[in-house]
Chain A
Amino acid sequence: MRRVGIIDYGQGNIFSIGKAIQKLQTEFVISENVEELSSCSHIVLPGVGAFPSAMRKLKERNLDKFIVDISDEKPIMGICLGAQLLFSSSTELGLNQGLGVINGDVVSFNSNNVSKLMNVGWRRTYVNSKRSDLALYKEQIDKQEFYYVHKFHIENCDKSTVQYLSRNQDYEFVSAVEYKNVIACQFHPEKSREQGLNLIHKFITK
């Protein structure tokens, strides 16, 4: 049965994601419990906040192992910090290891490239032409405007992935990554109007 498990590790706007899934008339559960989440068909890893405390909270609940274990079987959507956690490492508040589901690093915007380190607002998002023929979500993401609010972004991402790009001022960065069952979005689909709901709908029905 289709049922979305939203991972609750005590951080972020998880209830907004619930509202979006509710709008799509799909059953969902917000939970920190591995057993309950195991019974779900799809997993959403949300997250707002700092990378190290999020990793610590995942570990305390054995959710780190759970996510790595299911990443080959179930569709996973990582959102914002939840997307970043899926990568190998982050430099937020010191160098920290991530879940390593996808090879890549998370780094801060740099004042040599942008004047505003916090990238906030609606940005057009494009599929990277390399490997775009393999993209599952091209129709939902390519050329659409999504809502971003973040200071850190993905870099040195595994070349075998499908990538989407966006810009903070003139600086281009990786804003979404598809890899096996995983879609990692730096932007917030749950807060990006109809185009965001379309993307979540595609993820749920996949």
Chain B
Amino acid sequence: MNKRVISKIDIKNNTLVKGVQLEGLRTLGNPKKYADYYYQNGVDEIFLMDVVASLYERNNIGTIVKDIASDVFVPITVGGGLRSLHDISDMLKSGADKTAINTGGLKNPEFLVNAVKEFGSSTIVANIEVVRKGEGSYECFYDNGRESANISLRRWIDDLISIGVGEIILTSVLDDGMGHGFDENILSDIPVNLQIPLIVHGGVGSLNHVQALSKNDKVDGFAIASALHYSAKSYVMENTNNEGNYAYLNSGRVPLNIEPLSINDIKDIL
């Protein structure tokens, strides 16, 4: 069974952004253009994240989801600041197929329980932001990697399994945007008999980093941002009507350690 390739699109103020360790956001342009490009190039799924929604307790990603869902016919997962059943149903109405929840679930696990009951396991994805705390110990964070929830990765995964979420996206905060590979040690905290899919996110900067996990049975897919975004660059710039901020792309720079990757190349090794 082929592991999935998921393009992760972070959004702030209607613009695609990308940070390093979830901070220091760079503006890369119109998210819809990127989503179109990934769809045309064979991506398995799209993961849209409103990166400031949870911090500011607001949601305004709905129109972007609607726009993207009109032309992209692969599953779309939407996350960022979802904290009520109403928020989830709003996203589904905009064209999301699954919703990713982190902060809302850590602050109020009962919300996750109700979400699974109302919308079913397959609609509810747990997004875990994990940070290494000393030797072999990992802790869960919220508010886009800013605050510790004081709960270990192992315990939170156990909780999520008993709550009945349908899937887990594991974001390694310290690897995000670094392009030095995903911290494989985190996977030792994942139970071998996990019965739901696990997607890893954070750190992919070259094909070797995908290759390193391509035979790992615990990993069902990769969510990738920077390495895909810089491969989409020329398409996005050719198809823009000068809307949005392209100063960074125009500069022609690519962050250190990031090798732009095509979806095809990634799929070839999976």
B255 at the interface (CB under 8 A from A): no
Given contacts A49-B119, A121-B2, contact A19 B220 (CB under 8 A): no
Cβ-defined contact, A15 with B220, below 8 A: no
Chain A residue nearest to B44 (CB atoms) is A122
**Is there contact, CB below 8 Å, between B195 and A116?**
yes
In the complex, A181→B146 CA distance in Å?
A: 54
* Known contacts A19-B95, A122-B44: A117-B69 contact under CB 8 Å: no
Contact partners of A12 in chain B: CB under 8 A: 92, 119, 123
What's the minimum C-beta distance from A77 to chain B, rounded to whole angstroms? Answer: 16
Q: With a CB–CB cut-off of 8 A, which chain A residues contact B96?
A: 13
A118 close to B119 (CB less than 8 A): no
Chain B 66-124 interface residues, beta-carbon cutoff 8 Å to A? 69-71, 73-76, 92-98, 117-123
Pair B122/A15 contact, Cβ less than 8 Å: no
Question: For the complex, is A147 an interface residue (Cβ under 8 Å from B)?
Answer: yes
Cβ-neighbour of B73 out of A15, A115, A197 (below 8 A): A197
Q: Binary interface profile of A, 2-25, with partner B (CB < 8 Å = 1, else 0)?
A: 000000000111111001101100
Closest to B116 in A: A50
A22 to B193, CA, bound (A): 41
Complexed CA–CA distance, A153 and B220 (Å):
21
Interface size classification for chain B: 35 or more
A178 at the interface (CB under 8 A from B): no
Task: Fill in one digit per residue for B190-223: 1 if any A CB lies within 8 Å of its CB, else 0.
Answer: 0001111100000000000000000001001100
B69–A15 CB distance below 8 A:
yes
How would you classify the secondary structure of chain A's contact residues: helix, strand, loop or mixed? mixed
Q: Does A169 contact B (CB under 8 A)?
A: yes
* A13 to B90 CA separation, bound complex (whole angstroms): 11
Q: Are A48 and B119 in contact (CB under 8 A)?
A: yes
Total of A-B residue pairs, C-beta within 8 Å? 102
CB–CB B69/A19 < 8 A: yes
Q: Which of A70-104 contact B (CB under 8 A)?
A: 80-81
Closest chain B residue to A54 by CB distance? B120
Report whether over half of chain B's contact residues are helix, strand or loop; otherwise say mixed: loop
Interface residue count for A (Cβ, 8 Å)? Answer: 38
- Per a CB cutoff under 8 Å, which of A23, A118, A191, A192 touches B166? A118
Contact bitstring A35-68, B, C-beta under 8 A = 1, else 0: 0000000000000111001000000000000000
**Interface residue A111 (Cβ < 8 Å from any Cβ of B):** yes
CB of B197 to closest CB in A, whole Å = 5
A202 part of interface (Cβ distance < 8 Å): no
**A190→B73 contact, CB < 8 A:** yes
Is the Cβ of A49 less than 8 Å from the Cβ of B120?
A: yes
Check if A143 is an interface residue, CB within 8 A of chain B: no
Whether the Cβ atoms of B44 and A121 lie closer than 8 Å is yes
Interface residues of A in 167-204 (CB under 8 A from B): 169, 188, 190-194, 196-197
Among residues of B, the one whose C-beta sits closest to the C-beta of A92 is: B120
Residue A34 CB within 8 A of the other chain: no
B256 is an interface residue with CB less than 8 A from chain A: no
Contact present for B70 and A150 (CB under 8 Å): no
Are A150 and B122 within 8 A (Cβ)? Answer: yes
The listed residue (A14, A118, A193) touching B196 by CB distance below 8 A is A118
Neighbouring B residues of A191 by C-beta, 8 Å: 73-75, 97
Say yes or no: B121 contacts A120, CB within 8 Å.
no
Additional A-B contacts beyond A23-B70, A147-B75 (11; CB < 8 A): A13-B92, A13-B123, A15-B92, A49-B119, A53-B117, A118-B121, A120-B197, A149-B75, A149-B166, A150-B122, A191-B74
Q: List 19 A-B contacts (CB under 8 A).
A: A11-B120, A12-B119, A13-B95, A13-B97, A14-B92, A15-B69, A15-B95, A116-B195, A116-B196, A116-B220, A117-B196, A118-B166, A120-B167, A120-B196, A121-B2, A121-B220, A122-B44, A169-B1, A193-B74
- Residues of chain B whose beta carbon lies under 8 Å from any beta carbon of chain A: 1-2, 4, 44, 69-71, 73-76, 92-98, 117-123, 166-167, 193-197, 217, 220-221
